[in-house]
Amino acid sequence: MFHFSNNLEVKTLNHIKQVWKRINFFQSAEMTEHYLKNTYKNLPNAHTKNYDNCYPFMYYLEQGEIFYKQANDSPLSIKPMLLFYGLVHLIKACLLTVDPFYPNSTSVLAHGVSARKRKKRDYLFFDDEIKIQRNGICTYFSEKMFHVKHLEGEKFKMGELLSLVAELDDVFSFVKGESTMVPFDDGIDAWIIPKEVAQSYFIDEKRLKELLNNKYPGNIDWKKNHSNTLLINKREMYHPPFRYHFDKQQLCLPNKFHQHDTLPDMLIHYLLLYNLSMISRYETEWWFEQLKTTPNSDMIFIQSFLDVTERKGPYLIYQFLMERMK
């Protein structure tokens, strides 16, 4: 399995501890009431809901953390289930910041995703597919939290989703012989976009700017340095199609066009964890065969992703909660 250098590993572990420490700032009723009151200020008929939702919000976060901590201490065979339900509880806390009346119906409580029936022979997780259902928390949080609509009926392949996880770039390079991300250079106040990005897309710099402006949900603060290289402001919090490498704390872009390149990271992690949790629960024979014999590269990607999502899931939640304060 892949390992960080000692310095990067220590840096990452410290980063994880800081994320949980800051999430735990919300384990104060006074702090949480004030936070929810601020997030509800532009929502209709929500002037007293900060009091009603204070403890549910705190409990969702606490229960989510318990699942993550348990996953850290548990064998790989049950880790996907614990991480999935940990993420679900954290997402429910986030939903309370955008919908003070959540859950207002049972239709938003289901998973909202279905996995296809697996073939016992020649099945590869990398080629497996899941389908988004009309109702459930999947479509609900995608729309409410990220304004991603029209997901019903969409199908996603696991390999495509894995390729959008920035932290798996090294795994793809090692196993598949091809990188999936182009990292940005780290400037003092800006991210420096290397010329390899436009080259990998087979377009010029002008077209690259147009492409990213069209795909990005906000306004990109473009700049240029003395060598006429494109820069973007580092102080901004960037969203897809940009990807943030949690371990290296570095911004990057996929190295080629991707039909799902605007999917939020949180949704990608949710979909992958959903499928892995279903496999570990209901496809026991295949799952343990992978765990014990690793007949192909599936397990390299699965274990690497589980390592990544255990670290990055809470960070994505914290990032979202902080953005709601603006």
* 278-323: pLDDT as tens digits: 999 999 988 998 899 887 889 999 999 999 999 999 999 999 999 9
Query: Where does a domain end: 199, 223, 254?
Result: 254
| Mean pLDDT for the stretch of residues 181-200 | 89
- Could you tell me if 81 and 23 lie in one domain? yes
- Could you tell me if 31 and 143 lie in one domain? yes
Share of the chain above pLDDT 70, in %: 95
Containing H/E element for 73?
none
Residue 307 domain-assigned?
yes
- Could you tell me if 140 and 189 lie in one domain? no
| Mean pLDDT for the stretch of residues 124-150 | 94
Query: Where does a domain end: 197, 226, 254?
Result: 254
- Could you tell me if 84 and 193 lie in one domain? no
Cis peptide before 183 (omega within 30 of 0): no
Residue 128 domain-assigned?
no
- Could you tell me if 11 and 94 lie in one domain? yes
Give the model confidence (pLDDT) of 256-279 as tens digits: 888 889 999 999 999 999 999 999
Query: Which pLDDT score is estimated for 236?
Result: 75
- Could you tell me if 144 and 69 lie in one domain? yes
Query: Which pLDDT score is estimated for 2?
Result: 35
Task: Pick left, alpha or beta for residue 272 (phi over 0 → left; psi -120 to 50 → alpha; otherwise beta).
Answer: alpha
- Could you tell me if 36 and 137 lie in one domain? yes
**Tokens coding 173:** 């390079």
Cα 197 to Cα 6: distance, rounded to the nearest angstrom: 29
Query: Which pLDDT score is estimated for 3?
Result: 37
Residue 171 domain-assigned?
no
- Could you tell me if 242 and 306 lie in one domain? no
Cis peptide before 241 (omega within 30 of 0): yes
Pick from 114-118, 140-144, 219-223: least confident: 114-118
Segments forming the whole domain that contains residue 108: 6-113+133-149+296-323
Per the CB < 8 A criterion, the answer to whether 187 and 234 are in contact is yes
Beta bridge partners of 231: 192, 223
